[in-house]
Amino acid sequence: MTTPSMGWYPDQGFGPVVAAALPKFDPFYKYDAAKLADKSPGTVLRSRRLPYHVAGLPTPFTATQLLYRSTSQTGNPTANVTSVIQPPFQPDKTKVLSYQSFYDSLNQNDEPSFAIAGGRPIPTLPELVNTAELAVFAPFLAEGYTVVVADIEGQRADFAAGPEYGMNTLDSIRAAFGSKQVGLPGEAKVALLGYSGGALATEWAAELAPTYAPEVNKRLIGAAMGGLLVHPAHNLHYVDGSRNWAGVMLMALVGIARAFEKQDEFRKYLNAEGTKLFDAMQSKSIVDVLGKREYSGLTWAQLVEPAYPSPESIPLYVECVNKLIMGTGGISEGPAAPGIVPLFIGQGANGELEGTPGDKPHIGPGDGVMIAGDVRTLARGYCERTPVWYEEYEDFSHFSSLVLWLPHAIAWVRQRFAGEPAPQNCSTIEPGNSLDPTPVPA
């Protein structure tokens, strides 16, 4: 069913608004996979213009949605959607912000493009997460920027698959510049911005750009990120048994298995309870998991057969997560690809506020879900190749760190567009954890 109301459309003025169809029923999202192989990444396959919606209500901002060709975690061609939001008055189109959402979900219906197109008649909590994110990039829209918001997880909702997030982000920028409807000038520049799950996409986009999308890399002027998932194998141990974040361990297992197309193989290691939880998790959002009683204190041992006492005892798991360690994409040696743009990185370190102890060996403090020592090592590695400004919020957790990080990140991005030299504080960043790959068991 659809629910008509009144709203403003960029091409026809005021008229009836109809709630958006779910992505799996919306033909706009569909494209013959057999026809993708001969398309280059970033090719626009389909486009439509509509009002940008907030909590299901249309606004005066125009959103051009693009179906474009991208690449999966396993290297296969995919079709994905991005939304390009533009103010009604835009005298200068040279400033573009690529904003990566922290919608963190295993459900395609939670992707930003659906909420932007109108969403459900009564918005769900995940859709309201997308609405709340308007506060993050609203200052840029108010200043006349174009804002690009990709469905970073792809249409399968491959949660936690960082490299795929990055490629979806870079190809969405390619698509935005290739769209005549969007109309971006050739001299326009782009900054990347994202927190938490959005930081996963932001970092991987910046990391992969020199090799995967060098023409996009030439447009990039900086990447600001906060709350980073650097070494997923470490994070799984960090949240194992925690009060509020333990369920994200299972979310990540489902997402990684899906992204690498190994769900049946992963199931072989699960016990009866683990299989039940794994199957029930297939379409959940982080808002369905975070802090929920049924996942509080969940441990690895509760999910798997006794023969696999640790994640590192499963070769399949190790082989997959080793491909998700930040700082290893697109190169064979060194902490980063050459030519990476300046970085702003923020990370909380008081996860006890959110129920995650910070005393596990070789892990140490984090923000409740992300690990400060891992982020410091990543930042120090990037210092060898680009200016890095790193901030660690010692007294703040994952959610409270956002309050500190956001105004600093916005100011940093504005400085990049103003042409100011990128600052760096590399000499003050303390050593962190080892980011070596996990040894694959025999």
The CATH code of the domain that includes 286 is 1.10.260
Whether residues 137 and 34 share a domain: the answer is yes
pLDDT in tens, 188-235: 999 999 999 999 999 999 999 999 999 999 999 999 999 999 999 999
Whether residues 166 and 30 share a domain: the answer is yes
pLDDT in tens, 321-358: 999 999 986 443 444 445 899 999 999 999 999 999 99
pLDDT the model gives residue 121: 82
Whether residues 25 and 154 share a domain: the answer is yes
Whether residues 316 and 240 share a domain: the answer is yes
Q: Are strands 95-100 and 189-195 parallel, antiparallel or unpaired?
A: parallel
| pTM, to two decimals | 0.94
- pLDDT: is 251 or 338 the higher one? 251
pLDDT the model gives residue 329: 67
Residue 370 is assigned to a structural domain of this protein: no
pLDDT in tens, 104-144: 999 999 999 999 999 988 888 888 887 888 889 999 999 99
Residue where a domain stops, chosen among 198, 226, 254: 226
Number of domains in the chain: 2
Whether residues 162 and 251 share a domain: the answer is no
pLDDT the model gives residue 293: 94
The CATH code of the domain that includes 60 is 3.40.50.1820
pLDDT over 90 at 55, yes or no = no
Beta bridge partners of 46: 67
Residue where a domain stops, chosen among 182, 204, 226: 226
Residue where a domain stops, chosen among 195, 226, 257: 226
Residues listed for the chain: 442
Residue 178 is assigned to a structural domain of this protein: yes
Confidence of residue 77 (pLDDT cuts 50, 70, 90): very high
Whether residues 155 and 127 share a domain: the answer is yes
pLDDT the model gives residue 110: 95
pLDDT the model gives residue 69: 98
pLDDT the model gives residue 391: 98
pLDDT over 50 at 2, yes or no = no
Domain residues for the domain of 203 are 5-226
